[in-house]
Amino acid sequence: MATKASIFRTIAHSRKTCRRFQPGRIIPQTTLQDILQSTIRSPSSFNLQPSQIILVQSQTVKDDLSEHAMLGIGNQYRTRQASAVAVFLSDLEPSKRINKVYQLEKEHRHPNYRATMPLATSFLIGEGHAATLIKGIATQFLSAVQPMPDVEPVLSWSYKNTSLLAQSFVYAAESHDLATAMMEGFDPRRVKEILRIPDRYAVPLVVATGYEYEEESETEPTPRLNISEVVFEDTFGREWKHSNDESASS
């Protein structure tokens, strides 16, 4: 019986960027439902889940995105040919989600955690340049005497959380033998206009999803840096002592 580790290893190692999709293929709705249910289990800071997904399946809308918003011939073709295009949105006003999540957490969190959650999230999420600057100066000063968090601009914070959601989506799609291509080459202003996305949201990435063209399915995965160049032990620059073990790269 396959273990969780072996299943995930297969998914992680078989995933690659799809260069060409089979046009006209439709993903069963039950498959999409399963992918999305797995996707929304992705972790997020304070469980605020500051992301939305627009799943574009209409060929008319895909063509519109391809012609008017995507950059580069490759991205244009992938957007047009993919069965679905998942457009990931990052909330730039995540504080508006606090009350909703607070209510959801009632049965799942310790009362002490829930009591501090609104204040902690409001402080850490720097909505507005002035607020971020002031909080950043305060935490920098206090860091000399006690551990303090790093106050990020809301765009950075929200993008970080949305990227986790997108990664979960890609692996969930791979588990159904669907091909994906994560794309950053697009004009976000035009994407927002075409899809009628409110100003409250930013668009960090788009994921074309579908069935890989048969002639492309045999392409080799792109190379990765050696694990010794990526993973350090205890301190920066100190090579992980197991980086050359066969088990580490299997």
| pLDDT number for residue 98 | 82
Other CB atoms within 10 A of residue 188 CB: 17
Place of tokens 């033998």: 177
Looking at residue 108, its pLDDT comes to 76
Q: Which of 60, 47, 194 is nearest to 113 (CA)?
A: 47
Q: pLDDT for 114-169, tens place per residue?
A: 677 766 666 666 565 656 665 666 667 567 777 766 667 889 999 999 999 999 99
The residue extents of the domains of the chain are 4-93+157-219, 223-250
pLDDT at 95 over 90: no
Under the banding of pLDDT at 50, 70 and 90, the label for residue 248 is: very low
Contacts for 224-229: CB closer than 8 Å, 24+ residues apart: none
More confident residue, 172 or 108: 172
Measuring CA to CA, how many Å separate 55 from each of 5, 17, 32, 77, 228? Answer: 30, 19, 10, 17, 38
Measuring CA to CA, which residue among 168, 14, 33, 1 is closest to residue 88? 168
Q: Are 186 and 170 in contact (CB under 8 A)?
A: no
Asked if residue 131 lies in contact with residue 137, where contact means CB atoms within 8 angstroms, the answer is no
* Angstrom distance (rounded) from CA 215 to CA 232: 39
What are φ and ψ of residue 143, in 5° steps?
Answer: -60, -20
Range in 18-32, 166-180, 194-208, 220-234 the model is least confident about: 220-234
Q: Provide the pLDDT confidence category of residue 191 given band limits of 50, 70 and 90.
A: very high
The pLDDT of residue 219: 72
Fold classified for 4-93+157-219: NADH Oxidase (3.40.109)
Instruction: Give dist(CA 248, CA 224) in Å, integer.
Output: 14
Predicted TM-score (pTM) of this structure? 0.86
* Mean pLDDT within 29-46: 96
